[in-house]
Structure 1
Amino acid sequence: MSYIKTITFFLVIVLTGCSESATPTSSLENSPGVSLNNIKQHIKTLASDDFEGRGPLTLGEVKTVGYLSEQYKAIGLTGAYNGDFLHPVKMAMITADQNMQLTMGDLSFKAGKDFTARTKQLQPVIDVRNSDVVFVGYGINAPEYNWNDYANIDVTGKTVIVLVNDPGFATQDDTLFTGNAMTYYGRWTYKYEEAARRGAKAVFIVHETAPAAYPWGVVESSNTGTKYSLMDNNLNASELPVMGWLTLDAAEQVFASAHLNYQQLKQHALSKQFQAKELNLKANLAFKNEVSHAKSHNVVAKITGSESPDEYIVISAHWDHFGTKQTDSGPKIYNGAVDNASGTAATLEIARIMQKMHQQIPFKRSIIFANFTAEETGLIGSAQFASGDVIPTKNMVALLNIDGMNVLDSTDYILQYGKDLSTMEYYLAKAANAQGRQVKLDPRAQNGLFFRSDHFSLAKQGVPSLLFMSLGDTDPDYITHKYHKEADDYSADWSLGGVKQDVELIVDIASQLANNGDWPKWTSESDFKAKRTADKQ
């Protein structure tokens, strides 16, 4: 079925009701309307230099979570964490000493130039000695695609080399995985997780710019310095000891030293019949870590439903950005106005609107507004929320997550991240149609953005989710010159027409779900679907 036909089919369904239990309601009849002045003030405040770039575990965090708590309280919401607005997130800060050297066989590689390595284990020293090196293709075990790169190989204690992305991107074959659109199996996070489940000692992903969607410089900067992690009661012992990357040049040298051709084996890895290959080399790597513990906070607020208070619609956005960095020319403040003061401001305005609606006609289900910490350093706040210590994930009906809004003029479309994933796409199509907008698929599907924001922490726990993101589709200059840079500042010239559209659209979807009794479903076979199915049995 073509995309156009699929969307048409979706619209037919949603205009007549998604299911017998999902009869659409007129969700905006008693909406008080969007206040652009409120949104402007929230963004201007959160993205001001006074908030120091909203870095977790800084004075900027204290000011941010205080501001959000005060705003939710003033709106009339209650705290969702045992009556409190602040949800504690215990974090470890781990800094790997970059004075390290990797050897494979007779080859030696330099940290930063040839490879990166870090860990989430809370250990002062990571030591890999005489570890057998094995190439496992894409490092994927995907039963729904009849694909298992780990078939007939035991990688316990071994050093695993894997390819970046997935076979669909490499071939651009829509019948293989999802073609150009990255699946979760293509994400570096999955590759580390799968190898850890299989007892590997270390994983090195071979970097290539096109399938990774970013240059080596991003890999190097993202995997050095202080990194954050959630803490468990066993010093994160279940985490992979070494999470690494190799440059393409380094990888080709390794394979050549094993009398193998990297490019040929890369082609072989595109087949379901691929068999992992022992390189008959030993890997050695040791590095020291500085480990410290700290506590950050999510902000969680609640509207309590009148009939099904233990069923929740979640509306979220991360509050954090990169804080202030000291440079030779002085401090640089990364205010993150679009990413993600705009999304955080939107949650406050949506909360105000929905609280007014609730006061007129109470919502049947409860609604939680969650502003997560440490999204930029690994979805950490949302991962803590997904642990269920605020509410169990099986009680979450759906999640609508905002990560950067269109602060410019309104558009005639809305972007959809992921394709044919869940019935939440029906709700998106219906709400967009009501606004006279069309649904467009993410133009950068190869980047796997659906797997890179906070909603994914909840999706992994089975919660059907939508991502609302507008970072570069309306402002081509944004990604190049502002994204994750000092230049992402508030501008009084923004019309906020796009913000108004999307706030109204999110209120529409959330209001429907808060009243209609529907439990959205995953439509594609996946671990997400299996988890939700198990929770609903």
Structure 2
Amino acid sequence: MFRFPKLALTAITSVALSLSAHADVTDFDKSQLHQHISTLASDRFEGRGPLTEGERLSVDYIEQQFKAIGLEPGYHGSYLQSVPLAKVTADQNMSLKLGNLSFINGPEYTARSNHITDKLKLKDSEMVFVGYGINAPEYGWNDYQGVDVRGKTVVMLVNDPGFATQDPNLFKGNAMTYYGRWTYKYEEAGKQGAAAAIIIHKTDAAGYPWSVVENSNTGSKYTLVDDNNNLGQVDIMAWLHQDAAKRLFKNAKLDFSKLSAAAAKPGFKAVSMNQQANLEFAQYSELAESKNLVGMIKGAHRPDEAVVIHAHWDHLGKQGGEGHIYNGAIDNATGVAGVLELARTLKAIHAKKPFARSIYFTSFTAEETGMIGAQQFAEQPPVATKNIAAFLNIDGMNVGAPLDYVLRYGNDVSELELYLDRIAKDQNRYVKPDPRPQAGLLYRSDHFALFKQGIPGLLFMSLGDNDPDYIPNRYHKPADDYDPSWPLDGMVQDLQLMSTMAQQLAYGDDWPKWLEDSEFKQRRAQDGR
């Protein structure tokens, strides 16, 4: 892993220190925060599901707040960016046959597609075990080297070799990389021309139990729609329970344990499974348009350069036969409330002492179903990606008491971490590493779509730091409701940190660099940054 020498780190820290004089202390209004959270997380907003009445109410509310604050329309003269969505529902009356074995939909496998088509069919598709399904030149790793998988079904392990071996010198050791995420694996399989990709689930490696896979993939899913109805993507995206995978490998006269161990070592070569995959299912696609929101404070000196402050507005809507409402008060009504208060306070500062760069305030759709709104913004931004200095993403805030630390997701990823270190220290706080790096949270929120365009960002996520009950009993559950007794002191503390960072970036001329070799760093270099 590339690391800056101490001299460079000192120089960058000095830049942040010199900018601190430009950062005014902001006075956040808790009553405003309570109002925003209670409104967005009310039952009337129906859990803020995309393409529902909850979307209409959420979009209208945020747009009206942008106008009241005095933000300029941030997307080509509008506060709204259209996001063409498809709601794709696969008929679950399907049967997967691998070799001469049949598997049960739900308990043993899931399968779906982003193709906008009525029927998917996999017939006698040759199966190839491709280890972790990773092609990462910066790590000297290519599981597809020397094998042609066009039209075939690739079978792969979840996560990456670093987690499997716990070797800190292999990928990032225990911390999941981008290459460990299922989204990457399906994308790469499509690039390689595979007809289908099957990921073998393992709870510790995935960071969540099989129930999450089953619940997430057997209902309707949302996807962006390209000019080719997504037909350039891999046809079928499937998961296979580890116990089912062991049966498959045994039937193919392959040793699952030995092959898994071999796949975690450099030089692994893909292995033909001498089995064929067969699967057929119908699906229904509903095309519609969702909305991102974009407001801005126009910079006085370099308005074409930008800093973006963001929180996704959507949550899980209504679910289940009884129509349970998933209000998502913490995730992410608090984040949207935070963006609105940052917009209000920074607008007041700008009126007295104008920012050099523009500051965009955004709230995207469909984060919970795959960062779809973020992808649309990243691919069609209001300013050139090379001119976006940083993307600050809020995905759940601390509604309790202040903390003596702030969480950092990722390590030695970008120079924005140096801003975080300096400002936290000024608040008499320390930076605490992600306690669950193996879960890959750095790659599971909207900033990641901007990463892929080379734009460095930070994730501000505080889920249950003052409430150990939150993650097991309220996160992504109907119990994530608003509580008027929340003190919000921790929220104000984090907003002050973000405000300082945003001011330093908006007054300054720094272009935070990527610290590690990655495709994100390479993408930024293409833009000359």
* Corresponding residue for residue 192 of structure 1: 186
Among residues 477, 480, 483, which one is paired with 2:475 in the alignment? 483
1:279-338 deviation per Cα after TM superposition (whole angstroms, max 9, x unaligned): 1111111111101100110111000000100001000000000112242xx331111000
Query: What is the CA deviation profile of residues 469-494 of structure 1, one whole-angstrom value per residue up to 9, with x for unaligned ones?
Result: 01133321110000000000111121
Q: Helix, strand or coil for the counterpart of 2:114?
A: coil
276, 279, 285: which one pairs with 1:291? Answer: 285
Q: Please say which of residues 341-350 and 165-174 is displaced more in the overlay.
A: 165-174
Displacement of 1:393 in angstroms is 1.6
- Cα deviation per residue 1:107-154 (whole Å; 9 max; x = unaligned)? 111211211100111111111111100101011111111111111111
The answer to whether the Cα contact below 8 Å between 1:121 and 1:239 also exists between their aligned partners in 2 is: yes
- Counterpart residue number, 1:215: 209
SS in 2 for 1:24: helix
How far off its partner does 1:185 sit?
0.6
> Matched residue of 1:40: which SS?
helix
Match of residue 281, structure 1, among 261, 275, 282: 275
Which of residues 491, 501, 508 is equivalent to 1:516? 508
How far apart, in 2, do the equivalents of 1:531 and 1:255 lie? 38
Indicate the SS of the match to 1:52: helix
2:13–2:419 Cα contact (<8 Å) kept: no
> Given that residues 13 and 418 in structure 2 are in contact (C-alpha distance below 8 angstroms), is that contact kept between their aligned partners in structure 1?
no
Q: Is the Cα contact below 8 Å between 1:399 and 1:464 reproduced in 2? A: yes
TM-score (norm 1): 0.96
Computed over aligned residues only, the root mean square deviation of the Cα atoms, in angstroms, reads: 1.7
| Counterparts of residues 467-478 of structure 1 (less than 5 Å) | 467-478=459-470
CA distance in 2, matches of 1:479, 1:326: 20
Query: Aligned letter for 1:248?
Result: Q
Deviations 1:172-193 (A, max 9, x none): 1111111110001110011111
> Which residue does the alignment assign to 1:528?
520
Task: Report the 3-state secondary structure (helix = DSSP H, G, I; strand = E; otherwise coil) of the residue aligned with 1:57.
Answer: coil
1:456 to 443, 448, 454: 448
Q: CA deviation at 1:11?
A: 7.8
What SS is found at the alignment partner of 1:45?
helix
Tell me how far 1:416 sits from its aligned partner.
0.4
* Letter paired with 1:44: S
Letter in 1 for 2:522: A
Q: Which of the numbers 394, 404, 425 marks the counterpart of 1:412?
A: 404
- Give matches, 1:371-520, under 5 Å: 371-520=363-512
**Aligned match of 2:172:** 178
SS of residue matched to 1:536: coil
Counterpart position of 1:157: 151
The reply to whether residue 319 of structure 1 matches residue 313 of structure 2 is yes
Q: Which residue of the partner structure matches residue 17 of structure 1? A: 15
Deviation of residue 258 (structure 1)? 1.2
Structure 1: any 5+ residue segments left out of the alignment?
A: none
Which residue of 2 is the match for residue 121 of structure 1?
Answer: 115
1:370 to 359, 362, 379: 362
Any idea what SS the aligned residue of 2:48 has?
coil
The CA distance in 2 between the partners of 1:340 and 1:376, in whole Å, is 10
**Aligned-pair distance for 1:392?**
2.4
Cα distance, 1:16 vs. partner?
1.6
- Percent identity of paired positions between Structure 1 and Structure 2: 52
For normalisation by structure 2, the TM-score amounts to 0.97
Number of the residue aligned with 1:37: 31
Partners of 1:27 and 1:338 in 2: CA distance: 31
Q: Secondary structure at the match of 1:347?
A: helix
Q: Deviations over 1:176-228 (max 9, x none)?
A: 11111000111001111111100001011111111011111110011111100
**Aligned pairs (5 A) from 1:331-350:** 331-350=323-342
1:309 aligns with 2:303: yes
Task: Check whether the contact 2:26–2:496 (CA below 8 A) recurs between aligned residues.
Answer: no
Question: Which deviations, in whole Å up to 9, do the C-alpha atoms of 1:312-365 show, x marking residues without a partner?
Answer: 1000000000112242xx331111000000000000000001000000010000
SS at match of 1:370: strand
Any conservation in 2 of the 1:95–1:291 contact (CA below 8 Å)? yes
> 8 Å contact 1:7–1:429 — kept in the other structure?
no
Deviations along 1:411-442, one digit per CA (max 9) or x if unpaired, are 01000000101101111111111111101110
Name the amino acid aligned to 1:371. Answer: S
> Which residue identity lines up with residue 309 of structure 2 in the other structure?
I
Q: Which residue of 2 aligns with 1:265?
A: 259
Aligned to 1:79, which of 67, 73, 79? 73
Indicate the SS of the match to 2:87: strand
Count residues with an aligned counterpart: 528
Of residues 294, 298, 302, the one that matches 1:300 is 294
**Residues 1:90 and 2:88 aligned together:** no
Matches of 1:536 and 1:312 in 2, distance apart? 16
Amino acid at match of 2:249: F
Q: Structure 2: 5+ residue runs without aligned partners?
A: none
CA contact (8 A) 1:57 1:295 kept: yes
Distance 1:32 1:197 in 2: 47
